[in-house]
Amino acid sequence: MKLLRTAMRMLGLTNREVERRLGYTPSYLSRLFGGAIELKVEHVVSIARAMGLKPAEFFALAYPRLPDPPSDAASVLWGVLREMQPPTSTRERAEEAPRPPAAGITAEDVDARIQASLRQFFSSLGK
């Protein structure tokens, strides 16, 4: 929370401006930062985006150095995340055939699974 508030101040953003960008009610961030609302990963990601940061950029500020060497679990996660990255070149984009979504899995299901995995991953970093 301290890093979120500091980043907002450094970027010249007020709570009201970030709340407006998020569509939150006035005083929401004050209650969140004051501990009246439990801070969740979703909050951090949303607030970072509202500040104009990519979530990865914000988490890199919060956790600037990765352990050497990475744990087996982190290596697996990085591999999966690399596979999920969109192609970087025009040629790669042209060669990649669009994949149909898996039957019965919605974008919300994927988001929920990613968020749960990230929560577990970041929780393990603190141990």
Delineate the domains of the chain, giving CATH numbers in brackets: 2-62 (1.10.260.40), 72-125 (no CATH)
Can you give the pLDDT at residue 14? 94
* pLDDT tens-digit series, residues 75-101: 888 788 788 777 666 555 555 545 555
- pLDDT of 16 reads 95
Q: Which of 108, 124, 43 is nearest to 76 (CA)?
A: 124
Residue range 15-41, pLDDT digits in tens: 999 999 999 998 999 999 999 999 899
What are the φ/ψ torsions at residue 8 (nearest 5 degrees)?
-60, -45
User: Which CB contacts under 8 angstroms, 24+ apart, belong to 7-16?
Assistant: 7/48, 7/51, 7/53, 7/58, 7/61, 8/47, 8/51, 11/51, 11/52, 13/51
User: Could you count the other beta carbons within 10 Å of the beta carbon of residue 29?
Assistant: 25
Given the structure tokens 């501990």, which residue do they identify?
A: 35
pLDDT at 71 over 90: no
> Measured in whole angstroms, how far is the alpha carbon of residue 3 from the centre of its chain?
14
The string of DSSP letters for 26-52 reads TTHHHHHHHTSS---HHHHHHHHHHTT
